Structure formats: C-alpha cells, structure tokens
Amino acid sequence: MGGFLAPHFFAMSKHLLTPVRLGALALKNRVVMAPLTRCRADNPGYVPNDMMVRYYAQRAQAGLIISEGTIVSPQGRGYPFTPGIWSDEQVAGWRKVTDAVHAAGGLMVCQLWHCGRLSLPEYHNGQPPVAPSAVNPKWQMFSVTDQPDTVTPQALSREAIKDIVGDFRKAAANAMAAGFDGVEIHSSNGYLFHQFFSAQSNQRDDEYGGSHENRARFFFEVLDAVGEVMPFDRVGFRLNPMLNRFHGLHVDLDTVPMWESIVRRANDYGLAFLHLTEPLSPKQIEDTPGALSDVGAHFRPIARMPIISNGGLDQAKGEARLAANLCDAVAYGQAWIANPDLVERFQHGAPLNTPDRDTFYQGGEHGYLDYPTLGA
C-alpha cells in the first residue's frame, strides 16, 4: 500500500504505534508479540532451529517479542518439542534467533517456563511430574501422539524447590548469554508458580504453603535469584488471575487478594513490566464469586510498574485500553501467528489473515512461515 493513511486509521493507532519504555526496554511501538507455544523444536536436544530463526525475524516489527514458553530444565517439560534454555546447544540456537531479531530492529525477551504438574510421565522417564503438593489437576495434556490424562504429581521437597530456584537462575543467565534483552517469568496459566499461588493445588503445611506470603515465597525466591544475574528492570512476569475452570484450577474468593499481595510485593523490585491476561469472554467467569471482569482496571492502581494487557484483544480494543490508561502496551497472540507484519497492518488499517488452528502445534513450515504479508 502507498504512504497515504486515512484519518480513522491514525485514530485507531494513536497509542499503539507510539514508543514506550518498559523498564530498561525501549519499545518502538506498543504492539507486543505474546508468548506462543508452537512445538517446532523437534530435535533430540529441544534446540531452537533455523525455522524458528526465520519465524521470529519475520515478526521483528513488534515493539517487543516475548518468546514462546522456554523450559528451564528437563524436569520442567510438559509438551512435545518445546525449546529449552538449560544447555549450551540451546543457548547457541537462541543466539541465532536473537541475532536475527536484533538485525531486523526488534527486541526480544525469553519467557522462562516450568510446567509443574501440567505434564506427563512420558516426559520424565516414566516418573510423575512435580508440584507443590500431590494433587492431580485431572486434565488432559498433549503427548506426541495423544492427549493422556494427567497423573498425581510428586510433591516437591524443600531441597527440590531450592534446585528449581537454581534452574531459573541458570536459565536467566543463559538467556542473557543467548542475547535476549530480558526475561519474562511465566507465573500464570496454571503452571508451576500458579500451582504454588493457589490453595487448591498448594496444600503444604511448611513455609511454602498456607498464607499468601508463604504461597508466594517460591516465586520471590526465583525473582531474587534471577536478579542476581540480570538487572530487575529487564525482568517481567505474567499473571492470569481469572484462569477459571481450566488446567485444574478455578477462581475463588481468595484469588484476588492473593494476586494483589503478589503485585504489591513485586512493586518493590523495579521490574520492567507486569503482563496481565484478561478473561477471554464473560462466560469464563460467569457464576464465579470474586471474579474480575476487567483485570487491568483492578490492578492498574495497585501496580507500580508498566502493564502489558493481553487476552482476546483486537486493534480497537487494544487502542481503547491504552487510551483509558489501563495498560502501557498490548500483547497479541493469534494475530501475530497469522500476520508477521501485524504492526504494518495496524498502521494501514489492512485486514488480517485468519490463523489456521490446525497448524498451531503440528510442526513444519506450513502455518508457521508461509502467511502472506502486505508486500508479498
């Protein structure tokens, strides 16, 4: 398309296309690429490959790319062919990705991930996965060929928790060695940190269970450890307080107070951002006492750090949230899968490609590298 932009396109992008600073990260626009599991690291070492280099470089016009969930240790695996960041080979693979993104003018942080009980024995040599307590989420997880039921996990010992803290510290150091501009701690969506936060999955009676402070202890031990190897203003974290009737957890009357306590304590760290997920639809939280219809509106007055908003937002809704000062940037997921030139499409008011859900996790280049761009 040519250089002319209709006035209503300017209005729709008044905020989204402007620069913003999240801690030490200077974004050229406020259109963030959300972390998106794509299961393309289909090699024995779960090493980022050349296909992933091309995929992320295609999307470097984002103000910030948050990598797909990246496993911090073999113990943290929960899905097939998700990349890791515990080995030298993985660090070298990610270095190729970040070099390509930087060469294209982009910024990229690594999402650090441990699945906890949302996993299967086949990923752990036949042993059960780990969790704060031996509580089965009673969910189905993806294997290479099927969707088996979860099993009762093994409750972590204090010593094992300390080992995982060390795994996150090493993963953060590896992320810096791999050329990432920072990290996001994946502390949402029912995975290991979320399992510690919720009294439904955390039934411990030691210093890691019970009170809000205790259930958040593991998270802040990890945050402190990450801060030993990188500046806190390059660290963000993700929360999904309204995860409900999903991954074996639900919202209850303790949810909002618990998550408020986490954010208030995190305020003292000078972090780059808080990444908040909104309910995807009203149905997600219907008939749920204590639920929030707008997570950002609730947490904006509490958080003393920039907020990235995510969750079923389109261009107009993202612009509206920025205009209302509910967030500082907006993360898009499926829109980035199908539109590697999403920022350009927002700029020109161009229609978006429709994502092919059948190719989200199947592997290969189709549905990964071959979506058309405006200039194609």
Which residue from 60, 65, 103, 111 is spatially nearest to 85, judged by alpha carbons?
111
Catalytic residue among 191, 208, 269, 368: 191
Which residue type sits at 247?
H
DSSP lists the bridge partners of residue 3 as none
Separation between Cα atoms, residue 106 and residue 85, nearest integer Å? 20
Strands 64-66 and 31-33: parallel
Strands (E), the chain: 20-22, 25-27, 31-33, 64-66, 70-71, 108-113, 130-131, 154-155, 182-186, 235-239, 273-277, 307-310, 329-332
Q: Residue 4 is encoded by which pair of tokens?
A: 């002319």
191 labelled catalytic: yes
Q: What are phi and psi of 155, to 5 degrees?
A: -70, 135
Class of domain 7-359: alpha beta
Separation between Cα atoms, residue 283 and residue 314, nearest integer Å? 19
The three-state secondary structure class of 343 is helix
What DSSP string runs through 182-247?
EEEEE--TTSHHHHHH-TTT----STTSSSHHHHTHHHHHHHHHHHTTS-GGGEEEEE-TT--SBT
Compute the Cα dihedral for 32, 34, 36, 40 and give only its sign: positive
**Domain edges within the chain:** 7-359
pTM: 0.96
| Other beta carbons less than 10 A from residue 231's beta carbon | 14
Note down pLDDT in tens along the chain; length 376 residues. Answer: 333 344 444 455 689 999 999 999 999 999 999 999 999 999 999 999 999 999 999 999 999 999 999 999 999 999 999 999 999 999 999 999 999 999 999 999 999 999 999 999 999 999 999 999 999 999 999 998 899 999 999 999 999 999 999 999 999 999 999 999 999 999 999 999 999 999 999 999 999 999 999 999 999 999 999 999 999 999 999 999 999 999 999 999 999 999 999 999 999 999 999 999 999 999 999 999 999 999 999 999 999 999 999 999 999 999 999 999 999 999 999 999 999 999 999 999 999 999 999 999 989 999 999 999 998 6
